Amino acid sequence: MTAMRPEPAIRRSEATTAAVGLAFLSVLLVSCSPLARVRSRLDLPASVGSPDRQRLHVTFAASTAAGPLAAPPPGIEPPEQRLLAEVEVTPAASGFDVELKFRKRSVYVNLTGWYDSDGDGKVNGGDAVGSLGPAPVLATDKGVFSGNLTVTPPIALKPVL
């Protein structure tokens, strides 16, 4: 009678270790790609009451070249962006925090926030609008240990009269 030898557990352990190592390496490589981030606080007027995320519209203009870059007007779709961004909006004490993430080493950014108070899809009285201003901000990825977040001054959305 021949006794069957069980498959060594070492082989499964080695395969698991290799898979975990490959996954870690993949995450590490993705995290090394350039990422410039811009965070802005959009402060709403007190008249808004309890803000609804669905009524907040954020548009941005972005360029890798220095030069004039006006904030896009509220309620009008800006020209198609060559630079795409991931946009995250989170509630804040006085409005919303908006973060734009670009897969670039450096990018000039200008943005506009519009809160459509009545939800009609048009900029009119009672809505609130604000932008960074006439000059863009430069967001840069300074490297792995130096950070990649550029925080702008707060943007006060002012009521449209």
Is residue 15 in a domain? no
> How many structural domains comprise the chain?
1
Give the span between the Cα atoms of 66 and 74, in whole angstroms. Answer: 23
Range(s) of the domain holding residue 144: 33-158
Is residue 5 in a domain? no
Residues paired with residue 59 on neighbouring β-strands, in sequence order: 112
Percent of the chain residues past pLDDT 90, beyond the cut: 55
**Is residue 102 within 8 Å of 33, Cβ to Cβ?**
no
Is residue 80 in a domain? yes
Is residue 24 in a domain? no
Structure tokens at 154: 């707060």
Give this prediction's pTM: 0.74
Residue 29 has pLDDT above 60, yes or no: no
Q: How many C-beta atoms lie closer than 10 Å to residue 18's C-beta? A: 10
